[in-house]
Structure 1
Amino acid sequence: MLKVNGLRVEQGTFTLHATFDVEQGARVAVIGPSGAGKSTLLGAIGGYAPATGQVLVDGRDVSAAAPDQRGMAMLFQDGNLFPHLTLEQNVGLGIRPALRLTTAERTRARDALGQVGLGDFATRKPGGVSGGQQSRAALARVLVQDRPLLLLDEPFAALGPALRGEMLDLTSRVARDVNATVLMITHAPEDAERAADQVLFVDNGRVDTPRPVAEILSNPPEALRAYLGR
């Protein structure tokens, strides 16, 4: 379970406030206008942005912990694959940043690639595969970390609609397989309907309580209605 209590981030004239709970295994779409604070929120939860307040994961207060000690894995917009490394090595970074992998750990990296449909591409470098396959490899590196909470900052935004939908389906499937909680930033309500159980609406630094997707999209509050253009 993720519990955010009195989280506050100040960046110049912008301030973000958040208090909400997310149950273990939930898939939450984080929606809101550009500049509303969505990436700031995930960065603060993940420990990548200075913040005050409490972040608890399964009852453990991780507010002062470094990002790699919070029980979370974060996937950013560009995937952050290293072009000089093979896909297997890129995934291996999620296990050991120094890449001194044991035989068992190399097997874990290859298994993670197999889990996202890239079992035959382990020795290729990012430049030798498609954009969608790069996204799959970046997702595999997140999965191999075996964290109970996944933070996704629009990692599939640059993909076409069909491929983005495929990646959303894949993410949902593997998250369910390991009972991981997912917070996923998206600008598209159809992505929330496809891949999420709940919606967390962010507007001008204010973070609403998560609500079921069907409920909030069928009867959105005024700010969300304006964002959706309804």
Structure 2
Amino acid sequence: MDRATGLRLENISISLEGRELIAVDATIAPGEVLTVMGPSGSGKSTLIACVAGFLDPVFEASGRILSGDTELTSLPAEARHAGILFQDPLLFPHLSVLDNIAIAVPQRISGRNERRDIARAALERVDLAGFGDRDPDTLSGGQKARVALQRVTVSEPRLLLLDEPFSKLDSALRGQVREMVFDHARAARLPVILVTHDGADAEAANGRIIAVGSL
């Protein structure tokens, strides 16, 4: 799979009971961020769900989603290879920090030791070497955010979806994590969709902004 491909949202429209919630037509180049900005209830997260492939069937969606020459629209979520970061890191409490990352390594790498080696290297990249045996609940908010990003990274996504992943961090930490996520996306040449209600997030993303209104 070629990860250095753009993302095309071709006339995407999402409706609920015949009422259009959000409409987007945009092309996102590798390493670029499209910010969809608006208040809660404006349809931002439904767009994330639509692109990722888990839109609730109560919604109606039309249009096409393309990654390079591959149309994602009709593919199941697991075949779309979308990396997602949510407001909460969603680390598995029954797994160690290391295994939280190792579980996301692609299935073609089947050896347990090899998967764990990849996870250890991922922790080292974000200055968390030696944290592998820790319980996720013992980590700080910033540490959890770094683990969540590395879990997405090792899964080798073709695109990155950010559903207000910085909103629960304090202001100082928020800037650091934001920079880390956007730097990674640029380095990996991933097209990114960020949904947020925060103007500072949109400014830091340094890309096109689509404003959506409240319901």
Give the alignment partner of residue 136 of structure 1, picking from 140, 146, 154: 146
Note closer, same or farther for the CA distance 1:34–1:84 as it changes in structure 2 (3 Å cut): same
**Contact 2:106 / 2:155 at 8 angstroms: preserved in 1?**
no
Distance 1:111 1:198 in 2: 33
Matching residue of 2:44: 38
Matching residue of 1:228: none
Matching residue of 1:159: 169
The structural deviation recorded for 1:175 is 1.4
Note closer, same or farther for the CA distance 1:191–1:25 as it changes in structure 2 (3 Å cut): same
Matching residue of 1:17: 23
TM-score (norm 1): 0.81
Could you report, residue by residue, the CA deviation over 1:146-202 in whole angstroms, capped at 9, with x for unpaired residues?
113100101121110110110001111211221112211222112222233222222
One-letter amino acid of the structure 2 residue matched with residue 129 of structure 1: L
1:110-189 counterparts in 2 under 5 A? 110-189=120-199
Note closer, same or farther for the CA distance 1:92–1:12 as it changes in structure 2 (3 Å cut): farther
Matching residue of 1:61: 71
Could you report, residue by residue, the CA deviation over 1:68-95 in whole angstroms, capped at 9, with x for unpaired residues?
2113211122221111211111112212
Could you say what secondary structure the match of 2:117 adopts? helix
The structural deviation recorded for 1:133 is 0.9
Higher relative contact order (CA 8 A, sep 6+): 2
**Contact 1:31 / 1:185 at 8 angstroms: preserved in 2?**
yes
**Contact 2:12 / 2:64 at 8 angstroms: preserved in 1?**
yes
**Contact 1:92 / 1:101 at 8 angstroms: preserved in 2?**
no
Identity among equivalent pairs (%):
35
Matching residue of 1:222: none
**Contact 1:148 / 1:179 at 8 angstroms: preserved in 2?**
no
Could you say what secondary structure the match of 1:107 adopts? helix
Could you report, residue by residue, the CA deviation over 1:189-220 in whole angstroms, capped at 9, with x for unpaired residues?
12222233222222258xxxxxxxxxxxxxxx
Q: Structure 2, unaligned stretches of length 5 or more? A: 1-5
Give the alignment partner of residue 5 of structure 1, picking from 4, 10, 13: 10
TM-score (norm 2): 0.86
Distance 2:88 2:19 in 1: 25
Distance 1:111 1:63 in 2: 34
Distance 2:170 2:121 in 1: 27
Following TM superposition, where does structure 1 have runs of at least 4 consecutive aligned residues deviating by more than 6 angstroms? none
Measured on the aligned residues, the alpha-carbon RMSD in Å equals 2.1
**Contact 1:5 / 1:53 at 8 angstroms: preserved in 2?**
yes
**Contact 1:29 / 1:199 at 8 angstroms: preserved in 2?**
yes
**Contact 2:106 / 2:156 at 8 angstroms: preserved in 1?**
no
Note closer, same or farther for the CA distance 1:7–1:195 as it changes in structure 2 (3 Å cut): closer
Distance 1:115 1:195 in 2: 22
The structural deviation recorded for 1:100 is 6.3
Q: Structure 1, unaligned stretches of length 5 or more? A: 206-230
